[in-house]
Structure 1
Amino acid sequence: MLKSIDPALNAEVLGALRAMGHGDDVIICDTNFPADSVARQTVLGTLLRIDNVSAARATRAILSVMPLDSFVPEPALRMEIVDKPDEVPPVQAEVQKEVDAAEGRAMPMGSIERFAFYDLAKKAYCVIQTGERRFYGCFAFKKGVIPPDAD
């Protein structure tokens, strides 16, 4: 256990988040996503897991240590529901609340079509699979920067 580090974050996830650079994407996915096969194609090349937690809980943990990119219009994306791109299911609304809380303001997530999401995931730095069992619990977050301390 570490002070001020969310206990949901294991050593492998923390290592990957630390190693990511500005503009790298991390994929948070549900249990139905083809996580292992997609993760093998990422920069990291192996699947990471935060087991037994919802997508929202994993998002809270990840965004407690990782800034979102402020240089792009949509640093947080949600996978669109097939044939219902504007529908936001409860799992996505819960993650939206965590994004807003982490940013301290409303930051609406963008959306991305399902197969475009798979393509984005393959190019990501890493994939983290959660224990989320609800459909469309899949998200992409673009890492931002931490500015230097003011003198």
Structure 2
Amino acid sequence: MLRGIPSILSPELLKTLMEMGHGDEIILADGNFPAASHAKRLIRSDGHSIPDLLQAIIPLFPLDHATEHPAVVMSLLPADPTPEVWEVYRGLIRPHESRFTDFGYVERFSFYERALKAFAIVATGDKSFKGNLILKKGVVRD
């Protein structure tokens, strides 16, 4: 164990976050997402929620501000309610990313296509409606 590293972050997940470069994407996937069939690198984080993982990851992980939307969710269908978890995500991201304005919204099958190209997918047991979240890595500047 190390000091200052949240225990929810497994060694495999920390290694993956470190290996990612500028512009690489990681998906925090809910329990319904087809993670195993879409992942180049699959990281199991069963039993954890996406908000808990995001809370641990976002202080360590710079978002890419060279792109308009470095955090992306799956767009809604006309009859879908706005997922409550999206406001939770905003509340976790904003304190660490002052330039974050809002998510990018991607249609479901386009989201799946993007997942095929992602650096890694973290499969969780999260049951939130439309809980999937893509994060694009930026650069660390001193």
Q: Tell me the TM-score normalized by structure 1.
A: 0.86
Name the counterpart of 2:15: 15
Report which stretch shifted further, 88-97 or 120-129: 88-97
SS at match of 1:56: helix
For these two proteins, the number of residue pairs brought into alignment is: 142
Name the counterpart of 1:26: 26
Name the counterpart of 1:77: 72
Query: 8 Å contact 2:41–2:119 — kept in the other structure?
Result: no
Name the counterpart of 1:113: 107
1:48 matched to 2:43? The reply is yes
Please give the root-mean-square deviation of Cα atoms over the aligned residues, in Å: 1.7
Name the counterpart of 1:96: 90
Query: 8 Å contact 1:60–1:102 — kept in the other structure?
Result: no
Query: What code does the residue aligned with 2:115 have?
Result: A
CA distance in 2, matches of 1:36, 1:82: 25
CA distance in 2, matches of 1:134, 1:70: 27
1:133 matched to 2:127? The reply is yes
Shift of 1:81: 2.3
SS at match of 1:82: coil
Query: 8 Å contact 2:44–2:124 — kept in the other structure?
Result: yes
List alignment gaps of at least 5 residues for structure 2: none
Q: Tell me the TM-score normalized by structure 2.
A: 0.91
Query: 8 Å contact 1:26–1:140 — kept in the other structure?
Result: yes
List alignment gaps of at least 5 residues for structure 1: 40-44
CA distance in 2, matches of 1:12, 1:77: 23
Name the counterpart of 1:66: 61
Query: 8 Å contact 1:28–1:55 — kept in the other structure?
Result: yes
CA distance in 2, matches of 1:111, 1:80: 5
CA distance in 2, matches of 1:113, 1:72: 18
CA displacement, residues 80-132 of structure 1 (integer Å, 9 cap, x when unaligned): 123358x5311222112111122146531111111110011111100011221
CA distance in 1, matches of 2:51, 2:42: 19
